[in-house]
Amino acid sequence: MSTAITQTNFSFPGQKNLYVGKVRDVYNISDDYLLMVVTDRISAFDVVLPKGIPYKGQVLNQIAAWFLDLAKEIVPTWNIASPDPNVTIGYRCEPYPVEMIVRGYLTGSSWRTYKAGAREICGIRLPDGMKEHQKFDKPLITPTTKAEQGMHDEDISAEEIIRRGLVPEDEYRKLEDYAMKLFFKGTEIASEQGLILVDTKYEFGKRNGEIYLIDEIHTPDSSRYFYSDGYQERFDAGMPQRQLSKEFVREWLMENGFQGRQGETVPEMTPAFVEQVSERYIELYERITGKSFVRADTSDPVQRIRNNVIDFLNELK
């Protein structure tokens, strides 16, 4: 039986502290490196759900590592190596306090906002008469502030970011340029695999005065994909799109009366549902990379991670 990794609490050589995020446990190693353990926790509506999804962490980590290596031709990236299927180690950077969201289509939260009557997202005006899943004439960058744990990210305009001094204007324009180039690269790779990169987020930081791409990219936790085949026919007919993303989890939660609001209870995650989510994540890995997914040994994943990481840290000295 597969064992989901829902928490870690390691003591690695040189460890300074541990930050536990919604999905990732991030270990500070000697203030020089970050060791990111991607767990099998799953979150939606900024709430960590009660059950882990086997292999989800491995999928996220390996997709992100693959794309981060490809991104090095566009922007310096934080990652150095992945010593374990669920682990990436890289340079410690000072993160910018905003996330760069790039949207190619009117869908998800942007559609819900539009459907409710809004015609402006992050200072960008949208025309009347748009339909759900409609492609924008050109991708939009709709930044959000990075919220504290347990809080919701908030949309913010580029002008407000600069006015409030969150990011210097010259650096913010570089972030926009990097984000758009990364989105076009991700779009190209997805297209080769019969997918559409619908929207995604990028996070950046600074190290020694240089901008670095940090965190994950182009994973199903940070991105939404449609299948190319049938997109136009479904759009013309007003039908839902076939998609590979975490949106189907959000939709399942909403159908069962949960949107993360106070007083709401997370519906029961049955073993069948957990397995379905796991298979969807594995499917995305295979579709986007074109590789077969090799399931890691999950008989004792925490011990496996500990051994692999300590071996790597000993080599890093």
Residues 6+ apart with CB under 8 A from 267: 252, 253, 256, 257, 258
Helical ranges in 149-259 per DSSP H: 158-163, 169-192, 231-236, 247-255
Residue type for 174, please?
K
Rounded to a whole number, what is the distance in angstroms from the first to the last CA of the chain? 36
Q: What does the alpha-carbon distance between residue 183 and residue 205 come to, in Å, rounded to a whole number?
A: 18
Domain positions in the chain: 96-245
Tokens of 247: 């949106």
Q: What is the pLDDT of residues 187-240, one digit of tens each?
A: 999 999 999 999 999 999 999 999 999 999 998 888 999 999 999 999 999 999
Q: What is the pLDDT of residues 160-179, one digit of tens each?
A: 999 999 999 999 999 999 99
The position carrying tokens 């000697």 is 30
46 SS3 class: coil
Q: What does the alpha-carbon distance between residue 103 and residue 197 come to, in Å, rounded to a whole number?
A: 9
Q: What is the pLDDT of residue 150?
A: 46
Tokens of 244: 């590979």
Half-sphere exposure of 232 (CA within 13 A, CB side): 0
Please give the backbone phi and psi of residue 5, each rounded to the nearest 5 degrees, phi first: -90, 105
- Looking at residues 175-185, what average pLDDT do you find? 98
CATH, range 96-245: 3.30.470.20
Residue 243 has pLDDT above 90, yes or no: no
- Looking at residues 10-30, what average pLDDT do you find? 95
Q: What does the alpha-carbon distance between residue 65 and residue 266 come to, in Å, rounded to a whole number?
A: 31
pTM of the model: 0.88
* C-alpha dist (Å) from residue 225 to 126, 246, 247, 303: 22, 9, 10, 34
Q: What does the alpha-carbon distance between residue 288 and residue 310 come to, in Å, rounded to a whole number?
A: 31
> 114: closest CA among 138, 89, 140, 96?
140
Residues 6+ apart with CB under 8 A from 279: none
The position carrying tokens 């499917």 is 283
Higher-pLDDT residue of 1, 19: 19
* C-alpha dist (Å) from residue 135 to 24, 169, 209, 219, 317: 32, 29, 37, 21, 49
